[in-house]
Structure 1
Amino acid sequence: MMIPEEILTSHMWVFYTLIPCLLIDGVARLPAPQNLSVQSTNMKHLLTWSPVTMAGEVIHYSVEYQGEYESLYVSHIWIPSSRCSPTEVPECDVTDDITATVPYNLRVRATLGSQTSAWSTLKPPFNRNSTILTPPGMEVTKDGFHLVIKLEDLGPQFEFLVTYWKREPGAKEHVKIMRSRGIPVHLETMEPGAVYCVKAQTLVNAIGRYSTFSPTECVKVQEETLPLALALFAFIGFMLILVVVPLSIWKMGRLLQYSCCPAVVLPDTLKITSSPQKLISCRREEVEACAMTVQSPEELFRTWI
């Protein structure tokens, strides 16, 4: 069946009228990214979108943002994202770009060589006060009689409200506001035999919001092995042992010394009262004179009568 020339001409006219819609400045239009959304948890903001697919081709994406200041006071300018201009993956971490608690406009477009798509804009604008805050991860331990907590480090904007108490009827809850650097922190000195419980929640002052509380964790302190009085007596006994035992050993050594090796005492007549040197230095003349003065028995008898 032959197509009338008039119909063929009209179809060609429609085709030519559509070409300007597909070409702008001689550049073919790519499909624009769709389904833009922001997933935000604990002040980490991730912009995602549906990827543009072209068989055998790698598509790049450009991301731009516009805060309240740019929108109202700087002629509606758009600023390229610091991390994602361009990027090959259909997502962009815009955490560093969102610096105030105001609505932010975000937009994305696809690029393939010299071809670009139209911009797709996030609807509605994103405000970081909508972020989801989760309870902090925590580890509760004991160091002797010290209650110790270690909290997850979520960043410099985060503080934590830590609530702890001794588990007993009518116990009072204690609250501490802490910043975490991922290091253990002492909470309280615990009583022997008591059970202490801890829970925590996240606080971000920049958006004025709290998370829910973490699950409660409890630790128990062991009873003292010795009563205080018994421990005192044990200490005194130990000190006595340190003093008495060396003294007893010394005394026993002295007794054994006198028993096995007694000291010999010389009679007074055998003791030398003069210096031995003086005895040796006695002159010969004196010895001879002493010998000459010796009298016979008869002379002694006459002298006595």
Structure 2
Amino acid sequence: MFQVKLSLPNTDPHEDSRRNLDKSYHVAFLHLDSMFAHREYESLYMSHIWIPSSRCSPTTVPECDVTDDITATVPYNLRVRAILGSQTSAWSILKPPFNRNSTILTPPGMEVTKDGFHLVVKLEDLGPQFEFLVAYWRREPGAKEHVKIVRSRGVPVHLETMEPAAVYCVKAQTFVKAIGRHSTFSQAECVKVQEETLPLALALFAFVGFMLILVVVPLSIWKTGRLLRYSCCPVVVLPDTLKITNSPQKLISCRREDVEACATTVLSSEELFRT
């Protein structure tokens, strides 16, 4: 898109508070290898016949694209006027005529950022006819400059993965194949990548958390095991009166002797009546 500014003077006779009619109109041109279009333009131009723009007659916006109207590499004369209600301004004519071969391209606007360790550039959207040559390099002695062709339209583009503690610079150039012209390079913009340093507080918190995990996890496993053990196989504690202090075999033998002694005791009749 080749841009030309047209200025429309203020023609309001009352000079009231209405919006000033001075506006900038950006005109776009598209290359077209057509002898028919070239001859048609020359014939109309020599006859002093003005051709209304297909997209801009009329228009309510301060910018207009006349790509379809300007198709040849010849001098073009452009004019514009404003209409407000019943009032119409005089024509504002471009002087001198414009030839797209005389176009001077300017460097594109760009924004260089970093996304983590990724070098990212965002170029302004100038239209589908524009390409950009983006040069980037690491700022150090003897660094190699890399060049990348970018055709994105206002979309961030990844250029390179950066190294820690390094400075990277980017510059861009506008290029249009239709007229074989390019702009100068823009001023270089540089960004620096911080070193991968872990803050002391973060390292301390990480160490404390690791130690807590080492202590808490085994303790939790042990507590859970004991809980499951006593829940599934509980231990019943007998009272002291029911506890057996001697061996069962000894108790059986002692009881057997007592029974036999009692069975063989003979009482006399006198002792029986006495009792």
TM bin (shorter chain): 0.5 to 0.7
Amino acid of the residue matched to residue 43 of structure 1? F
**Residue equivalent to 2:170:** 198
What residue ranges of structure 2 are gaps of 5+ in the alignment? 15-33, 82-92, 227-234, 244-258, 267-275
Cα distance, 1:69 vs. partner?
A: 2.3
Determine whether 1:44 maps to 2:3: yes
Cα distance, 1:45 vs. partner?
A: 3.2
Cα distance, 1:191 vs. partner?
A: 0.6
**Residue equivalent to 2:117:** 145
Determine whether 1:131 maps to 2:117: no
Q: Is the 8 A contact 2:73 2:99 kept in 1?
A: yes
Q: Secondary structure at the match of 1:247?
A: helix
- Which of 82, 93, 112 aligns to 2:54? It is 82
- Which of 103, 106, 111 aligns to 2:77? It is 106
Cα distance, 1:170 vs. partner?
A: 0.8
Cα distance, 1:240 vs. partner?
A: 6.6
Cα distance, 1:197 vs. partner?
A: 0.5
Report the TM-score, using the length of structure 2 for normalisation: 0.55
**Residue equivalent to 1:15:** none
**Residue equivalent to 2:36:** 69
Structure 1: distance between partners of 2:196 and 2:36 = 64
Question: Structure 1 pair 73/83, CA: closer, same or farther in 2 (3 Å)?
Answer: closer
Q: Is the 8 A contact 2:56 2:66 kept in 1?
A: no
Amino acid of the residue matched to residue 108 of structure 2? P
Q: Secondary structure at the match of 1:76?
A: helix
Q: Is the 8 A contact 1:160 1:203 kept in 2?
A: yes
Structure 1: distance between partners of 2:79 and 2:220 = 93
Determine whether 1:207 maps to 2:207: no
**Residue equivalent to 2:29:** none
Q: Is the 8 A contact 1:165 1:172 kept in 2?
A: yes
Structure 2: distance between partners of 1:235 and 1:92 = 59
Question: Structure 1 pair 176/266, CA: closer, same or farther in 2 (3 Å)?
Answer: same
Question: Structure 1 pair 105/248, CA: closer, same or farther in 2 (3 Å)?
Answer: closer
Structure 2: distance between partners of 1:266 and 1:150 = 84
Amino acid of the residue matched to residue 106 of structure 1? N
Q: Is the 8 A contact 1:196 1:219 kept in 2?
A: yes
Amino acid of the residue matched to residue 156 of structure 1? P
Q: Secondary structure at the match of 1:140?
A: strand
Amino acid of the residue matched to residue 180 of structure 1? S
Q: Is the 8 A contact 2:73 2:100 kept in 1?
A: yes
Q: Which is higher, the Rg of structure 1 or of structure 2?
A: 1
Structure 2: distance between partners of 1:254 and 1:86 = 86
Cα distance, 1:235 vs. partner?
A: 7.7
Determine whether 1:165 maps to 2:137: yes
Structure 1: distance between partners of 2:35 and 2:7 = 21
Q: Which one has the bigger strand percentage? A: 1
Q: Percent identity?
A: 58
Q: Is the 8 A contact 1:68 1:104 kept in 2?
A: no
Q: Deviations over 1:21-66 (max 9, x none)?
A: xxxxxxxxxxxxxxxxxxxxx6023456999x9x99xxxxxxxxxx
Question: Structure 1 pair 197/123, CA: closer, same or farther in 2 (3 Å)?
Answer: closer
**Residue equivalent to 1:21:** none
Question: Structure 1 pair 109/68, CA: closer, same or farther in 2 (3 Å)?
Answer: farther
Q: CA RMSD for the aligned pairs?
A: 5.0
